[in-house]
Amino acid sequence: MAQDPKSVAQPSGQEADVPVDPPETVKDEASAQAEEDAGEDAGEIADALFPLTIHLPREPNKIHVMVSPQEQVHELRQSIIELPAAFQYSCFHLEHAGERINDFVQVSDVKGLGPEAEIRLVEDPYNEKEARIHVIRIRDLVGAAGDRTDTLHGVLPGISLFDAVTASAKDTDNVQASAYEFDAPANPSTLIPKAEEPAPKTIKSISLSPWHPPPYHFRQKGHLLYLLVTTNEGEQHQITSHIGGFYVNKSSNSKFDPSPRAAPKGHSAHSLLTLLSQISPSFEQSFEQLLQYNNVKDPLATFQMTNAIPAAPWLVPPQSSPLCAHSSDITRTQEGYLIAGVDNTDTLRDWNEEFQSARELPKETIQDRVFRERFISKLFADYSDAAARGAILVARGEVTPLNPTEGRDAQIFVYNNVFFSFGADGVGTFTSEGGDDAARVATGKDVNGVRTVNQLDIDGLYTPATVVVDYLGKRIVGQTVVPGIFKQRDPGENSIEYGAVEGKEIVAADERFAPTFEKLSKALRVKKHPVWDKDGKRFDLEASVETKGLMGTDGRKYVLDLYRITPLDVLWLEENSTAAESEKNDLEYPHRMTVLRPELVELVRNQKWTEWVNKELARLKKQSKTQDDQTADKENEDAVPADEKATREEKAEGSEEPKDAKEEGAATEVEDRIDASEFHFALNPDVFSGQVPQTDAEKEELAADEQDVRGACKYLRESVIPEFVNDIKASDLPFPMDGQSLTKMMHKRGINIRYLGKIVSLCEGPRLLRLRDLCLQEMISRAFKHAAGKYLRYLPIPLSSACIAHLLNCLLGTGLNSKPTADVDEFLKTLYPDADLAFVSVAPESLRKEVEAQVARRFKFTLESDWFNNFKHLQLLREVALKLGLQLEAKTFAFTSDSAAPTIINGINGHGNGEGKKKKKKAREGSPSSIASTGTPTTFTPDDIVNVVPIVKDSAPKSAISDEALEGGRHSIIQNNRKIGQELLLESLTLHEQIYGILHAEVARAYSTLAQIYYQLEEKDAAVDLARKAVIVSERTLGVDSAETLLYYLNLGLYVHGSGDSKTALAYVKHALDLWKVIYGPDHPDSITTLNNAAVMLQHMQAYHESRVWFEQALAVCERVMGKQSLPAASLLFQLAQALALDNESKAALGKMRECYNIFLHQLGPENNNTKEAETWLEQLTQNAVAIAKRDKDAQARRLRAGIKFPARNVALGGGAAAQSATLSKPSSDGPDARSIDDLIKFIEGNTAQKKSTKKRAGRTAPKTRVGGVPS
C-alpha cells in the first residue's frame, strides 16, 4: 500500500534504460579486483584537479582555469577559448617558463607545470587555414552564420523540449498544476518546439569579398583572405585578413586597394571580433545581449553535436514557422571553401590507416586506454558522418561508379576515401540464399559482426570500419578501403587467404590467420570445424567458412564478411521449406540468412554451464561422503543453483574456500574436481549450410554439431520466448512502448524479430493483449517498409514525395478517402519517361494484400481480415516514419471523415493548411492531374513529406573502461564501500564524457544510471542534476519522443518531487503522459504507476481533491488493462479510498474500500496481511461515515431551529477538515492498525492548503466528470 512514489516507479523505469549485459564467462575475482583497482587509480587521477593562471595579451590580462593532469594540452586550449574573456583568440600557442608547450602532450608531461602555475597565451601569425578557421568561429560566435541546410541531418536535428517543459511549471497554482485532459487525443504539437524570440542581431553579414582570393603579389606580402562586413548601422567595410591580423582596407565595390585605410577609419586588430567592436558602435551591446539570450537556455540544449548524429524528429513545423525560417546568407555558399580549403583536401582523410593506427595505440596504462578509446570514438563519429553523407550522394546518383558498365545493383563507388556498394545481390553471390533479400540482411548482420569484433578488440586482427545506410528504399554499405582489396591478382592467385574464396567452391586456410581467428572464435563461442571444397578436400577452419581473412598490402590481417558468426536457425528453415514446396512464391521465407542472435548463444552457454556445474556438484557429493559434514553441507546447498547465480557462487567458492577452510586438502580437491577449464561450449556455424563430410567419422561429428545447434534453436522456442512473454505478463520486464523498445528488449533476450508472430500467439489475458497489439503494429509497419522500399528503390528522388504520400494514404487515409489517387506532377513525369511509376496503380486493397503477404512470409503470421480497421493510426504512422526516415509536416492528421480539417501546427498568423499554396504553385506549372485531384481531400499530400533522412547503422564499439568504472562503483556501493564507490561513479561519469563527448546516447544512459544510484544514496540534488542532463542529451541524440526520453522524464519527475518541488515534477509527468499518447496511445500499462505517483505528489502538495482525480484515472486505466478483479486494481482502490477520505468523501471512500477488501479476500484469502489491513480500514471508515452522518444530521437540525437552511453537502465540501479529523481521531485508538490512521490524520491536520485547491469550483468538477466518462 506504499504511498511513496519512489517505491512504485523505480522498477518500471529502470529496467529499460540500464543495459544488462549477458553474464560473463569464467571471469575470476582477481580480474574483477584488477578492474576495481584500475578504476580507483583513475579516480585518484581525476580528483587531482588543480588551478592554472593564464596570462592574456589583452584585457582582462589574466584568467583562471581548472585542469586535470591527464588532460591533453589541446583540450586546455579549447577550455580557454570557451571563456568569454578569451573568445577573440583562436590562433595562438601556450608558453610555460618561456618554453613553448606542445598541443598534443598531456598536461602532466609539461615540465614543472603544477598547481598555481602560470601560463602565457602568445598570439601566432595566421596562415590561410588558421584565418579560415577564425572567420568560421567568429561568424558562429556573433550569430552571423544563419541557418544551415544539411544533406544529412534534416529539419531541426537534435532539438530539445526540456526548457519549454520546465518553464510551463512556473507560476502555476495547485489546480493548474494538476489540470490534465486524460481523454484528449494525442496532440502532435507535443513534439514541436515552441516558437521563440529571434536572437539579437549583432552584425548584418560577414562574407568573403568579391575581391577574394588575393593576387600573387599580395599573397607574397602576407594577404590571406578578403572579407566584406556589413554592420547593423548599414555600413560596408572591406577587410583584409593578413598574417598579422585583420584591418579595414581601402577597397570599394568597384575599386581594389587592399592596403590599410588611414585614420580615423583605419581600424586593425589581431582578432576579427575586436575589429568588429571597433567598426560598429552597437556591436558590443548587441553581442552582450546575444550572450545573455544564449545563456537562458540550458547549455546542453545548444552545444553543437560532434560525436553523434543528432536525432531528426519525424514531425516538423511547417515551412512558414519561424523555427524553419530560411534566411539570406551569402556566406552559406562559401562555407565549403572556408571549412575545407580551395581544393577540399582539408577534409580528405585516409580512413583505413587512421582506424588501424588507432587500434595499434598502446593500452597498457589507464591514461593510454582513455586516450585510445576517446580517439577511436571520435574517429567512428567522423567516419559515420562522412559515410552517411557519401551514401546519400550515391543514392541520389551524384557519384560516378567505378564500374559504370555493370548493372545498377552491381555498381561500386569510392567517395571521400569510403568504398560504397549496394546492399543488393548485384553479382549473384547470394542467389542460393535468397538474392536481394539475403544480401540486404547480410549487410545488416555484417555491421553487427564488425561491431562485435571491434568490441572484443583482439590484438593483430583488423576490420574495415563499416556503416550501413538505408535511404529511400536503397541500402548502401560504406566501408573503409582495405589496402590491396582492388589489387589485380595473377591467375590462380586468390585475394582471400582464409575462408571461402568464390562462393564455397574454393576454400583457403592460410595458417598465418589461425591463431588470431582462434582468439576470435573462442570469444564468439565458435567451434573449430572442418569444411570441404568442391573437390571434397577438407580444411579445418577456426571460423565460419563465410568469414574471410585477407592479408592487406599494409601487412595487417583483416577479417571480412562477419554476417555468419552464429549458426543458422535450422528449425525455422525446416518449417519454412515444408510450405515452400506447395506455395513457393507466396509463403516461402524471403532468404536463408536466418542466423541465431549472439545473445541467444550466450544464454544457451549459461544454461549448459549451470547443467554442467550441477552435474559436477552431484558427482562431487557422491565422492565426498567420506569428507566431513561441513563440506558436504556446503556443496549440498549449492546443488541446484539458478542460471548464472551458479557461476558466481562457483567462482566465489573456488576463490574463498582456501582462505576459510582449514583443511587445505578438501579445498584443493573441490578446486580440482570442479575446474572451469574442463567446461567447453562452442557451436559450429556451418552446419545446415551445404557442407558434405567425406568419412563416417566426419559425418558423425557433423551430426553431433547439428544436434547442438538444434538444441539451441529448441531452447529459443521452448524456453526463451515463453519466458520473455511471461516476464512481461508478470511485470518483471517493463512493458515496451513502441517498436524500437520492443525490438531492443527482444534482441537483449536473444529473440529474432521474425518470432513476432510466435509472441503474438502466446499473448493471452488483458495485459498481454496490449503486447499483442504492439507486436501486430510492428509487423504491419515492417511489412509496409518492405512494400514501400520496393516502389522507392529505383524511383527518381523528386517523385519520392508523391509515392510516399500515396502509399500512406492507401495504408492510413482510407477512412477519409477510400479511393486515393497518386498526386504526381505531370511535368516531372515528362522529365523521367523511363521511371517505373508502379506506385501510381497501388490501391488500398492491393497494398493491404501486399502487407498481408509480407507478414505471412516474414513472420509466419496471418493477419485478421479486418486488421486495417483495428490499428492505431498515429502510432503506426510514427513507426513507419521512423523506419523510413520520414520527416512529416506536423498537423492534426485527418485519418477519418469525422476528423476536422487538418490544421497545421505552429504556423504563423493563423495560417491553416498549406494546401492552398501548393495548389497555386501546381496550377502555375500547368499540371492538369494536380488540378483535377484537388477536389477529393486526402490525409497526406506530397507537400506533407518535408524531407527523408537516412537511417544509419554503424560499427562503433562501446567504451570498455568507462563501463568498468561504472560497474566497479556499483559493486563497491553494494558492498557498502560508499566512498570508493562514489569516487568510481564520478570517474565513470568523467570517462563517459571524455570518451564519447557530452552529447551521446551512451552518456545519457550513464547519466540516468548514476542519477538512480545517487537518488538511492539520498544525494538528491546530484540525482536531479544528472537526470536533467539525461533528459536533454537523450532528446537530442535519441529523439524528443523516444521511449528512453520518456523514461528519463518520469525518473526526473520522481527525483524533483523527492527534492520538494512537486509542481515542476508534475509538469514532467504531464509531458511524459503527452508523449505516451503519441508513442503508444492511451492506457499504456506502465502509465498506471505514473498516474499513481502524480496523485501522491498532489497529496504532498495538499491538493486532496486533485489527487483523488488522478487516483481515479489510475484505477480506470488499471481496470481496463488488468481487469477489475486484479490485485493491482485492489491496491489502487485502497489508495483511492484513502484519497476520498482526505477529500471528505467518506461515503465514496467506504464503497471503494469495500471493493478493495472483497478483491483481496477473494484473491489472497482472509489471512493475508493486505486483506487484514483493508478490513481494518473498512471498519474505521464505517465508524467514521456513521459519525459524520450523525454530525451532519445534528448540524442540519440546529440550522433548522435557527431558521437557516443549507444543504448538508456544503459542510463536507468546505474546509471542514478540523471537524473531520476530530471524528476520525475517536475510533483510531481502538483499531488494530492505528498507525496508518494516525498517519492519515497527521496528513489532514494543519493543512491549510486544501482551501487553496478547492477554491475554483470549475477546476474541481471538470476533472471529476472527465474521469467518470472514460471510454472502456
Model confidence at 640, in pLDDT bands (50, 70, 90)? Answer: very low
Question: How many C-beta neighbours within 10 Å does residue 582 have?
Answer: 9
Q: What local confidence, expressed as pLDDT, does residue 625 receive?
A: 65
Separation CA 603–CA 473 (nearest Å): 35
pLDDT, mean of residues 760-788: 95
SS3 breakdown of the chain: % helix, strand, coil, rounded to 5? 55, 10, 35
Higher confidence at residue 1263 or residue 29? 29
Q: Which residue has the cell 563507388?
A: 413
pLDDT, mean of residues 1018-1045: 96
| Chain mean pLDDT for the chain | 83
Helices of type H across 193-325? 216-220, 272-279, 283-296, 299-302
Model confidence at 620, in pLDDT bands (50, 70, 90)? Answer: confident
Contact by Cβ (8 Å): 414, 394: no
First to last CA, the chain: 26
Model confidence at 864, in pLDDT bands (50, 70, 90)? Answer: very high
CA 1261 to chain centre: 40
CB-based burial, 296-323: b 16+ in 10 Å, e otherwise: eebebbeeebebbbbbbbbbbbbbbbeb
Model confidence at 930, in pLDDT bands (50, 70, 90)? Answer: very low
Q: What local confidence, expressed as pLDDT, does residue 916 receive?
A: 40
Separation CA 1183–CA 1149 (nearest Å): 12
Q: What local confidence, expressed as pLDDT, does residue 844 receive?
A: 96
- Please tell me the number of Cα atoms within 13 Å of 396 on its side-chain side: 13
pLDDT tens-place string over residues 591-609: 999 999 999 999 999 999 9
Percent of residues, the chain, with pLDDT higher than 70:
82
Contact by Cβ (8 Å): 441, 503: no
Separation CA 108–CA 88 (nearest Å): 27
**Lowest-pLDDT range, 657-661, 861-865, 961-965?**
657-661
Query: Which DSSP helix (H) or strand (E) runs through 369?
Result: helix 366-395
Separation CA 727–CA 730 (nearest Å): 5
**Lowest-pLDDT range, 455-469, 692-706, 720-734?**
692-706
Q: What local confidence, expressed as pLDDT, does residue 905 receive?
A: 55
Separation CA 674–CA 26 (nearest Å): 12
pLDDT, mean of residues 760-786: 95
CB-based burial, 55-82: b 16+ in 10 Å, e otherwise: ebeeeeeebeeebbbbbbbebbbebbee
pLDDT, mean of residues 1021-1039: 97
Packing angle between helix 1127-1142 and helix 1234-1244, nearest 10 degrees?
50
Q: What local confidence, expressed as pLDDT, does residue 926 receive?
A: 40
Question: In this structure, what DSSP letter does residue 592 have?
Answer: S
Q: What local confidence, expressed as pLDDT, does residue 320 receive?
A: 87
Does the structure show a pLDDT above 50 at 1262?
no
Model confidence at 628, in pLDDT bands (50, 70, 90)? Answer: low
Dihedral sign, Cα of residue 551, residue 555, residue 559, residue 560? negative
Question: In this structure, what DSSP letter does residue 526 have?
Answer: B
Single pTM value for the model: 0.85
Question: How many C-beta neighbours within 10 Å does residue 952 have?
Answer: 19
Separation CA 1017–CA 1011 (nearest Å): 10
Model confidence at 917, in pLDDT bands (50, 70, 90)? Answer: very low
**Lowest-pLDDT range, 751-755, 907-911, 1194-1198?**
907-911
Rounded to whole angstroms, what are the CA distances from 618 to 283, 379, 622, 639, 642?
A: 83, 52, 6, 7, 15
Highest mean pLDDT among 225-234, 320-329, 481-490: 225-234
Burial grade of 928 (CB within 10 A; 0-12, 13-18, 19 or more): exposed
Contact by Cβ (8 Å): 552, 483: yes
Cell output for 1206: 443549507
Model confidence at 1268, in pLDDT bands (50, 70, 90)? Answer: very low
Higher confidence at residue 840 or residue 116? 840
Separation CA 436–CA 473 (nearest Å): 12
CB-based burial, 11-44: b 16+ in 10 Å, e otherwise: ebbebbbeeeebbebeeeeeebeebbebbbebbe
pLDDT, mean of residues 995-1005: 95
Does the structure show a pLDDT above 60 at 853?
yes
pLDDT tens-place string over residues 51-76: 889 999 988 889 999 888 878 898 89
Model confidence at 637, in pLDDT bands (50, 70, 90)? Answer: very low
Separation CA 967–CA 995 (nearest Å): 17
pLDDT tens-place string over residues 700-715: 999 999 999 999 999 9
- Give the pairing type, strands 951-954 and 50-55: unpaired
Does the structure show a pLDDT above 60 at 1233?
no
Q: What local confidence, expressed as pLDDT, does residue 761 receive?
A: 95
Separation CA 71–CA 82 (nearest Å): 16
Contacts of 1115 by beta carbon, 8 Å cutoff, 6+ apart:
1129, 1132, 1133, 1136
**Lowest-pLDDT range, 551-565, 660-674, 822-836, 926-940?**
660-674
Model confidence at 899, in pLDDT bands (50, 70, 90)? Answer: low
Does the structure show a pLDDT above 80 at 1240?
no
CA 73 to chain centre: 32
3-state secondary structure (DSSP) of residue 1262: helix
Question: How many C-beta neighbours within 10 Å does residue 254 have?
Answer: 5
Query: Which conformational region is residue 200 in: left (phi greater than 0), alpha (psi within -120 to 50 degrees), or beta?
Result: beta
Higher confidence at residue 1030 or residue 624? 1030
* Cα angle: 397, vertex 400, 402; to 5 degrees: 130
Separation CA 839–CA 188 (nearest Å): 28
3-state secondary structure (DSSP) of residue 258: coil
pLDDT tens-place string over residues 381-400: 999 999 999 999 999 999 99
Does the structure show a pLDDT above 60 at 632?
no
In the sheet that holds 315-316, the strands lie side by side as 315-316, 886-889, 945-948
Rounded to whole angstroms, what are the CA distances from 207 to 132, 219, 820, 1058, 1142?
A: 11, 19, 49, 52, 68
Q: What local confidence, expressed as pLDDT, does residue 1132 receive?
A: 95
Provide the β-strand partners of residue 896: 815
Cell output for 802: 508523391
pLDDT, mean of residues 337-353: 81
Does the structure show a pLDDT above 50 at 907?
no
Which 3-state string (H, E, C) describes 1192-1205? HHHHHHHHHHHCCC
Model confidence at 1117, in pLDDT bands (50, 70, 90)? Answer: very high
3-state secondary structure (DSSP) of residue 799: helix
Does the structure show a pLDDT above 60 at 1160?
yes
Q: What local confidence, expressed as pLDDT, does residue 492 receive?
A: 66
CB-based burial, 683-716: b 16+ in 10 Å, e otherwise: bbbbbbbebebeeeebeebbeebeebbbebbebb
Furthest CA-CA distance within the chain? 119
| DSSP annotation string for 103-169 | TTSBGGGSTT--TTEEEEEEEPPP-HHHHHHHHHHHHHHTT-S-----TTT-SSTT---HHHHHHTT
Contact by Cβ (8 Å): 558, 464: yes
pLDDT, mean of residues 489-493: 69
Model confidence at 1164, in pLDDT bands (50, 70, 90)? Answer: very high
3-state secondary structure (DSSP) of residue 205: strand
Does the structure show a pLDDT above 50 at 168?
yes
Separation CA 1096–CA 6 (nearest Å): 10
Question: How many C-beta neighbours within 10 Å does residue 1210 have?
Answer: 9
pLDDT tens-place string over residues 229-257: 999 999 999 999 999 999 999 999 999 99
Does the structure show a pLDDT above 60 at 934?
no
pLDDT, mean of residues 270-294: 93
